C-alpha cells in the first residue's frame, strides 16, 4: 500500500541532469524556484573502483544536496542567524540496471525534486536505506515510494524504534517546517541483517550507536571504497551537538575512527556545505569539531561565549544556527 502525500509543484529548469550513462559525467546541478539543489557526481573509476573477484561491473554514485531552509519559530538563544535547517544529502548508488537510495530528505519539495532526479538515472530503484531515525532523513519517504512503489524501504530496528518513539513530535516538526512535510509520513521496515546487495556488490551496514542520535548507522561499499556516513560525518557544516554529552561525543569519535580504519576514497556526509567534496578529510574535520566543542564547553562561561568561540574556529562552515549547539530548547543552559 502506497501512502498519499500532498504534491507541490516546483517550477524551473527541468532539463535532464544526465541521460542513462555508460560512463558517468561531471558535476550536475538542478535549480528550481522553490529550492536550489546541488548535485555532486562521483565517477568511480581509475583508482576509485575495486572490482569484485567475479568482475561484476563497478558501481557509481551521485550525491544530491538540498540547501539550508528556513524554519518557523524563534531562535533558542538571542544570537546567531534566524532559525533554519542545515543542508542535507541523499546518495544514489547505481549499477548498470539497479540502484539504491540512501536517505530521502524531509520536505515535499525536496523529496519530489529528489524523485525526479533519481528517475533521470533510468535505473530500477530496488532499495531505499534510511541511516537513522531523525525526521530530516526519512520524512520524504512517502513521496519517493509513490514514484517508486516497488522499492523496499529499510532501516535498522533501532532506527525504526527511534522513529516510532518520536512520532508524538511530528506535529511540532510540521509547524517548525511551516507545513512543508508530507501529509503522510511512512516508516521504513525494520531490517536486521548486516548487509544487502546491489548487482552483486555488498553494501554493509555499520551500526554506530549514539552520535548525533541514538542508533545511527553508516553504509560501507567495499568494492568502490565508499562510505555513506549518515550523520556520523558532517562536511563543512556546523554539527548538531546540542544533545551530546562527553560520553556520547567519545562514542561519536570512536565511530569516526571505525570509518577512517576502512580507508575509504569517497565519504558522503549526512549534512554538508553545498559543493564541498566528498572526501575522507571530512572524517577528521568532524572529529576536530567534536573535540573543540567539548574543550570549549568546559573552558567558556556562557552559551554566547561558547558560540562565539566556535564561530571563530569555523568561520567558513555553513548553518551556524544556535540550535545546533544548544538544541531547540529556548531555556538558556548557562
What CATH number does the domain containing 236 carry? 3.60.15.10
Whether 112 contacts 12, CB under 8 Å: no
- Is position 23 within any domain? no
- Is position 99 within any domain? yes
Whether 32 contacts 12, CB under 8 Å: yes
- Is position 1 within any domain? no
Beta carbons within 8 Å of 164's beta carbon, 6+ residues apart: 187
Structural domain that includes position 316: 28-326
- Is position 56 within any domain? yes
The Cα–Cα gap between 186 and 326 comes to: 29
Could you tell me the three cell numbers for 45? 573509476
**For the chain, how many structural domains are there in total?**
1
- Is position 110 within any domain? yes
- Is position 47 within any domain? yes
| CA–centroid distance for 250 within its chain | 21
Per-residue pLDDT of the chain (334 residues; tens, 9 = 90+): 433 333 332 223 332 333 333 333 323 323 232 333 555 554 443 333 344 556 789 999 999 999 999 999 989 899 999 999 999 999 999 999 999 999 999 999 999 999 999 999 999 999 999 999 999 999 999 999 999 999 999 999 999 999 999 999 999 999 999 999 999 999 999 999 999 999 999 999 999 999 999 999 999 999 999 999 999 999 999 999 999 999 999 999 999 999 999 999 999 999 999 999 999 999 999 999 999 999 999 999 999 999 999 999 999 999 999 999 999 865 555 4
- Is position 3 within any domain? no
- 165: exposed, middle or buried (Cβ count in 10 Å: 0-12, 13-18, 19+): exposed
Amino acid at each position: 500500500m502506497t501512502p498519499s502525500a500532498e504534491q507541490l509543484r516546483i517550477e524551473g529548469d527541468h532539463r535532464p541532469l544526465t541521460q542513462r550513462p555508460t560512463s558517468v559525467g561531471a558535476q550536475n546541478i538542478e535549480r528550481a524556484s522553490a529550492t536550489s539543489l546541488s548535485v555532486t557526481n562521483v565517477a568511480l573509476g581509475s583508482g576509485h573502483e575495486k572490482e569484485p573477484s567475479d568482475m561484476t561491473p563497478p558501481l557509481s554514485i551521485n550525491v544530491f544536496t538540498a540547501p539550508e531552509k528556513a524554519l518557523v519559530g524563534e531562535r533558542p538563544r538571542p544570537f546567531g542567524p534566524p532559525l533554519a535547517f542545515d543542508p542535507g544529502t541523499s546518495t544514489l548508488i547505481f549499477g548498470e540496471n539497479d540502484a539504491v537510495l540512501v536517505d530521502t530528505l524531509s520536505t515535499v519539495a525536496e523529496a519530489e525534486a529528489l524523485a525526479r532526479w533519481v528517475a533521470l538515472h533510468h535505473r530500477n530503484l530496488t532499495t531505499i536505506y534510511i541511516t537513522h531515525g531523525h525526521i530530516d532523513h526519512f520524512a520524504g519517504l512517502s513521496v519517493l515510494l509513490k514514484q517508486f512503489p516497488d522499492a523496499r524501504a529499510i532501516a535498522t530496528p533501532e532506527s525504526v524504534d527511534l522513529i516510532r518513539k518520536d512520532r508524538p513530535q511530528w506535529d511540532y516538526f510540521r509547524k517548525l517546517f511551516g507545513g512543508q512535510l508530507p501529509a503522510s509520513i511512512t516508516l521504513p521496515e525494520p531490517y536486521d541483517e548486516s548487509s544487502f546487495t546491489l548487482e552483486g556488490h555488498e553494501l554493509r551496514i555499520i551500526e554506530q550507536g549514539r552520535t548525533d542520535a541514538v542508533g545511527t548507522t553508516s553504509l560501507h561499499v567495499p568494492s568502490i571504497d565508499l562510505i555513506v556516513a549518515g550523520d556520523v560525518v558532517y562536511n563543512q557544516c556546523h554539527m548538531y551537538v546540542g544533545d551530546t554529552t562527553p560520553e556520547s561525543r567519545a562514542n561519536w569519535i570512536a565511530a569516526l575512527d571505525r570509518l577512517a580504519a576502512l580507508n575509504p576514497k569517497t565519504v558522503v556526509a549526512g549534512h554538508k556545505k553545498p559543493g564541498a567534496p566528498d572526501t575522507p578529510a571530512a572524517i577528521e574535520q568532524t572529529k576536530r569539531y567534536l573535540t573543540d566543542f567539548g574543550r570549549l564547553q568546559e573552558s567558556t562561561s556562557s552559551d554566547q561565549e561558547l558560540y562565539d568561540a566556535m564561530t571563530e574556529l569555523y568561520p567558513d562552515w555553513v548553518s551556524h544556527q544556535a540550535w545546533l549547539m544548544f538544541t531547540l530548547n529556548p531555556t538558556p543552559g548557562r
